[in-house]
Structure 1
Amino acid sequence: MEKQLKRFVDLMGFRSFLAIVLVVTAFLQFGLMVDSVRGVTYDISMGSLAPETIRAAKTVEDTEKTELERTNAENATAPVYDFGQEIAEQKAGLLTLLFDLTIEAKKELDAQEKLSQAEKLEVMKEKLKAVTEKQEGLSLTDDELRALFNASESQLVQARDILVELVKDVLSESIRKENLSSARTNIESLIRSSSIANPLLSTAITLGRNSLVETETLNEEKTAIAKRQARDAIEPTKILQGQIIVLEGEIVDREKYRQLELLGLIDSQASWKPIGGVMILIILQMIFLFVLFDGYKGPLKEKSNHLLVTVIVYLSAIVIMKLGNLISDNFDVMLGFIFPTAMATMLLRLLTNDRIAALVTLLIAASAGIIFQENYAAVLQMDIALYILFGGFASLFFMGSVEKRSHILRASAIVTVINLVFIAFYLLMTQSDYGVSEILFYIGAGIVSGLLSGALTMGLLPFFESVFGILSTMRLIELSNPNHPLLKKILTETPGTYHHSVMVANLAETACEAIGADGLLARVGCYYHDVGKTRRPAFFIENQMGINPHDTLAPESSSDIIIAHTTDGADLLKKHKMPQEIIDIALQHHGTSLLKFFYHKAKEEGKQVAEKDFRYPGPKPQTKEAAIISIADSVEAAVRSMKEPSADKIQKLIQAIIQDRVQDDQFDECDISLKELKIIEDVLCETLNGIFHSRIEYPKEKQEAL
């Protein structure tokens, strides 16, 4: 599978492969999530019986009812009138002036005997004209003028005082246009019942009726403001989430049917908007994954494997959530709390890296909010989303370095505690009264979720490692166990090689960590890199006990035996189903370097030999770890064979070995730089100086005591 995948990715390029994988993932995720947002609709007609009790799945504004209530409030608002405080005094003043002018004119005209009665009336009419014109609609007849002219001064004064008082009293009250006629009738009645002399009664009635006008006028601006305020004071009428619209068996009348339509609960009213929202969410999630993997730094094989592992774990988590949601309708409790919150996070933390694990935790939490959404959740089921976030990030922060399976159990125990703390928060925030059985369920759900996270992680980890050939940290730790059959084989059959491998592992790990390479992979790779020497242990100098079989062999035969240990080791590692990275190190740690000793020995014997026959088959180191191991392997063997090693000698030897490798083009196929080679040189010098430091020469007596 690995080879087929590699060919496929090489053929189309990683970016195209990434796009195809994410598009397929998006379609699968959409298929799993779309049912969660379609919502429930009913095949109901007006006048039919409700098949069940129907509640509002969301809060919506009833715009029709809101507008009706606002119109009613506007119509019920009383008009605003302005009361004229000055009108009574103004009209009383005009009446007073009219009578005073009449008394004055009467005195003047009585003194003029030459004028006839008719002429005197004309003069009086002219004098009163200024006052009558101010009284809109006032028109005194000749009889009424004659009554004023013929009345005595005392009668005029009496009529004036009574009429002014009556007008003041009536005009002090509210008189609107619609009741002006009744007010005039009222004052006429009051005048008739007053003590005004009969000759002046008709004139007084005319003056009294004419003096009455509207004391309250409609203020249109204030009325409009009052109506607008009354309208604005009406809050929008809403159908609240969870509100019962119709009870089971109840007749669906026009109003209830209208509300069901408004809520989109009628079959023909199903909305596409939530489906569009889910599509947008999934597109956003895929964009984040695309950006993450498009910028991923690492070998093509590693990127491809990590991508596939990520989408499989991601979709697996969604499938688990979907299965839980399918059976949740049969329970009154939130089954989502059983979901293993940290499973995906821990798996991806072990199989890929922290960054991928953190992002997928966020994406799973968002997806869970949709999948576990109840009809009464506004957008996301936030309690479940936060539950998964806290559980996932708890495992990410508290896992630390995972070296044993027990560390996964420890992490799952911490996740369990975090789950229980969050559940306590959930139960308190919902402000609902829970029974003992419900509380016990939620506590049990938190415990099951945490423990299930660890159990599924440990159960699925070997599957992913095997199928995708991923070498996780835990797998490397297991391979470094001295009880491993191959390590036991090396230790018992080639103890010198075992010691040499351990020394090389120390050097290679330190050098890898100095340049940011995988130190643990280098250490474990060193343990197994010379496993091929177990086929012919006596032909390798570190395992010889004084007798060197090469002394009796032709250089070509010796060369073949030495060279064969790389391929022999690879075969042995494959037989034990070891990870490909370890096999690659066994094959690549000598690259295509030349066995100079046997090559020159054959030349010295006068043989015509080809240099390629004395070179390792390779391939050359493909990774930084393999390149560092090739250097550390040669350096350790060379320094160990030195007599009286010193810091200066060690440094020159390391420089020579590295320079030889570079000049022999052994590092052409890996991305190691000259700067990194210099760092490796310094680290190896420092480490070896610590191992082969000069000892104090003790006196002979003390040596014997020691």
Structure 2
Amino acid sequence: MSRLTTIIQKLQRLLPFRLLLIVALSVVGLLQFLLMMGNIQGQNYNVKLFQVSPETIRAVKTIEDTEQTKLDKQAAADSVEPVYTYSEEVGKNQASVVRSIYNYALDAKEIEATSDSAKAAKAQQKKQLEALKKSLDSKELNVELSDEDLAVLLAATKSELEDGRDSVVEKVTSVLQQPVREADVAEKRESIGNAIRLTYSFPTDLMNVSIRIARSAMVANELLDEDATEQKRQQAIESIDPTRILQGQIIVQEGEVIDRDVYHQLEVTGMLATHQSLKPYVGLALLIIIQMLFFYMIFNNAKNMKIEHKIRNLLIVSIIYVLSIGFMELLGIVDREFDLLLGFLFPAALAPMMIRMLVGERIAVLVTMMLGISAGVIFQEGYSTVMQMEIALYMILSGISSLYFVRNMQKRSKVLQTSFGVAIVNSLFIAFYLLMTQSSYTAKELLFYLVAAIVSALLSGALTIGTLPFIETVFGILSSLRLIELSSPNHPLLKKILMEAPGTYHHSIMVANLAEAACEAVGADGLLARVGCYYHDIGKTKRPGFFVENQTNGLNPHDHLPPEKSRDIIIAHAADGVRILEKHKMPKEIVDIARQHHGTTAVKFFYYKAKQQDPTVKESDYRYAGPKPQTKEIAIITVADSVEAAVRSMKDPTPEKIKNLVHAIAQDKLQDGQFDECDLTIQELHTIEQVFCETLNGTFHSRIEYPEPNE
């Protein structure tokens, strides 16, 4: 047992898997944050106001200067001239009011002329004056005519009133035909008064009253349109584009003084050492939390996996994931010194292929996606975007294609060959990237990107081949790819069995067929069972002639040996097989199958033979050393081994005979306690019996008797 396996078992005992998963992912997330935090830190300058700039400083990102934009919009709004609306009706209304004043006085004159008595005329004039005052109030004429003024109007002759009316109305109409704003009203009042005084010759009292009436008629006829003005202001504001500081824009040249504008721009872009923003760090933390949540879900939902295997897979994925992030960071540091995207050199298919072979396809797909997203952040250029999308897509497509190409791979040596398929996908994506950018590239740049695509794929394959055996050894992993390699008939140990113990070889093949079918029926590892069966009896190659399947001509050397000696030879084949397999550094799982495939069962034939000679013989002396099967696969192999040998020795096997024999052997193993140390259930045992019967019936079916050639 490796030291790492011991550590995994201790972790399993100390912490529940869910808590261990949270702790492990927290550590992975923290390491990823520490590795990637440098990618979100902009270039900062420790400069002060009115200090001479020690170097030329360029903006590292495109950002809007909100304060300057606000000032520009306010200036645009302030520059808008108010909108005035001219009303011709105002002049007409004012002329009408002036005319009505004189007309009231003229009407009063008519009353005076037609009255029978002076007393009645006075009463009627008084009534007319009150009506005139009310009229002036209702028309809101901004003039106050005193009783003396009214008396002046009433005292004037009819011709004087008519001349005054026509003259004042003409002047008012003339002035108000032109736009008059509120600010011009005082000037117009002064000018119309002077004009009347210079143009017309009225009696002094009537002249003063007429001027007062004319001045009161001067009002603004071009009024402020607040809605139109506000609309125009909004249009002016909307016409102002946001003030932006562009990425790469020179903020200050070397040797220039950092004035308030420059300092403000450095502050806005976050390039001052004293103005670091926490937002990018919070954003990165949120991204990593999302990634770790996905990892948590996929590991936590792996229900049909042993806890120790979950822990092992968690460690493998965590190590490969963090190392991949670290490798990308190193390449990202170098990338900043070049104009080309060195991220295309990263072996994007390495982690997906390794995790696919060591853990499984589902988690490999997830790791591919998470590494792609992380690569987009690591290789981003400045702050113009959140991530470098072309690198992220490149990583994801390269990883996904590698998972497709390794799916049906039969040999580890083929990994490098499958890398050529990944290289084609990488090259096609590079072509897409170069075409979509619509930029012109030199021949050297085009050659670099093509070489990068190929190198990335081949490096992924080479590193996978180089590191996979090391990880398998450290973690004690027997991958499906390794099992497929071990199942090759060209393997030296299988050749050894075939050449030295051909009967055992055939027996192993038959047992493998039975065990694989049964394992797949109950959800166990069928490939491991098949390959383990190929090697489980390799210990028989040490003394092949002492095992019945290798005996010819009916000669059995055990007929001439005491039962104790025969027992030792038979039982020794398990230990001999373990030594041979360990000598050839075979995986632990294969060695365990050879060690445990007989459990602690008794060699009954020789036990009964010895008991006939000595009734005091103990059955325990004739049992295998064990241990009993520790896994479901080995328990199935134990039954399959006994069943195949028993059915092969049957005469005229029928489905009923096979069924009874299989059931008897399985129940004997169960009653003997051989399944006490593994997780095989009674229901699964019944399923195994059924599968064995179906497989054996197909193998030992009745054959047609063909006639002799001479008949």
Which residue matches 1:487? Answer: 494
- Is the 8 Å Cα contact of residues 121 and 146 (structure 1) preserved in structure 2? no
RMSD (CA atoms) = 3.0
Contact 1:522 1:626 (C-alpha < 8 Å) held by counterparts: yes
Q: 1:128 to 1:694 in 2, by over 3 A?
A: closer
After TM superposition, the structure 1 = structure 2 runs for residues 211-290 of structure 1, keeping only pairs within 5 Å, are: 211-218=217-224, 227=233, 230-231=236-237, 234=240, 236-290=242-296
Once the two structures are TM-superposed, the CA of residue 700 in structure 1 deviates from its matched residue by 2.0
The equivalent position to 1:94 in structure 2, one of 81, 94, 97, is: 97
Matching residue's letter, 2:170: E
Partner of 2:162: 157
TM superposition shift of 1:385: 1.5
1:61 matched to 2:64? The reply is yes
Q: Which residue of 1 aligns with 2:697?
A: 689
Shift of 1:513: 2.5
Matched, 1:339 2:339: no
Task: Assess, with a 3 A threshold, how the Cα gap between structure 1 residues 96 and 677 changes in structure 2: closer, same or farther.
Answer: same
Match of 1:355 among 350, 356, 362: 362
Cα separation, 1, equivalents of 2:63 and 2:334: 29
* Distance in 1 of aligned mates of 2:8 and 2:113: 136
Cα 1:122/1:569, change in 2 over 3 Å: same
Give matches, 1:371-410, under 5 Å: 371-405=378-412, 407-410=414-417
Alpha-carbon distance between aligned partners in 2 of 1:646 and 1:150, rounded to the nearest angstrom: 150
Greater CA drift, 405-414 or 171-180: 405-414
Q: 1:351 to 1:114 in 2, by over 3 A?
A: closer
1:459 aligned partner: 466
Q: Please state if 1:36 is matched with 2:39.
A: yes
CA offset digits 1:286-343 (Å, max 9, x no partner): 3433443344332344333322221221122112211211211221011111111111
How far does the alpha carbon of each residue in 1:432-466 deviate from its partner, in whole angstroms, 9 at most, with x for none? 33333222222221121122111211121111122
| Counterpart among 644, 649, 655 of residue 652 in structure 2 | 644
Tell me, in whole angstroms, the C-alpha distance in 2 between the residues paired with 1:145 and 1:387.
101
Shift of 1:264: 1.5
Q: 1:208: how far off?
A: 1.7
Instruction: Report the secondary structure of 1:245's partner residue.
Output: strand
When residues 46 and 687 of structure 1 are mapped into structure 2, their CA distance, relative to the original with a 3 A threshold, is same
Note the C-alpha offset of 1:14: 5.5
Counterpart of 2:324 in structure 1 is: 317
Residue identity in the other structure for 1:488: K
| 1:416–1:449 CA contact under 8 A, matched in 2 | yes
Amino acid at match of 2:456: S
Matched, 1:428 2:435: yes
**Cα pair distance change 1:108/1:544, threshold 3 Å:** closer
Q: What amino acid maps onto 1:252 in structure 2?
A: I
Deviation of 1:645 (Å)? 1.8
- Stretch deviating more after TM superposition (694-703 or 451-460): 694-703
Specify the alignment match of 1:475 in structure 2.
482
Aligned amino acid, residue 99 of structure 1: Y
Alpha-carbon offset, residue 652 of structure 1: 1.8
1:9 maps onto 2:15 in alignment? no
Cα pair 2:658 2:693 within 8 Å, conserved: yes
**More displaced 10-residue stretch of structure 1: 547-556 or 583-592:** 547-556
Structure 1 counterpart of 2:184, from 179, 202, 205: 179
The alignment partner of 1:358 has SS state of helix
Sequence identity (%):
50
CA contact (8 A) 1:635 1:657 kept: yes
Using the alignment, how far apart are the partners of 2:153 and 2:370 within structure 1? 103
- Between the aligned partners of 1:291 and 1:369, the Cα distance in structure 2 is 23
Contact 1:402 1:473 in 2 (8 A): no
The runs of 5 or more residues in structure 1 that have no matched partner are none
Separation (CA, whole Å) in 1 of partners of 2:310 and 2:115: 130
Q: AA paired with 1:340?
A: P
Distance 2:149 2:406 in 1: 117
- For the 8 Å contact 1:14–1:300, the answer to whether it is kept is no
**In structure 2, C-alpha distance between the alignment counterparts of 1:150 and 1:10, rounded to whole Å:** 122
Asked whether the equivalents of residues 159 and 196 of structure 1 are also in contact (C-alpha less than 8 Å), the reply is: no
Aligned equivalents of 1:514, 1:664: Cα separation in 2: 24
1:619 aligns with 2:627: yes
Taking structure 1 as the reference length, the TM-score comes to 0.91
Q: Which residue in the other structure is 2:216 paired with?
A: 210
CA shift, 1:101, in A, is 2.9
2:106 is the counterpart of 1:103: yes
Displacement of 1:377 after TM fit? 4.0
Instruction: State how far apart, in whole Å, the 2-side matches of 1:334 and 1:454 are.
Output: 22
TM-score, normalised with respect to structure 2? 0.91
8 A contact 2:487–2:531 mirrored in 1: yes
1:65 partner letter: Q
Aligned-partner SS, 1:693: coil
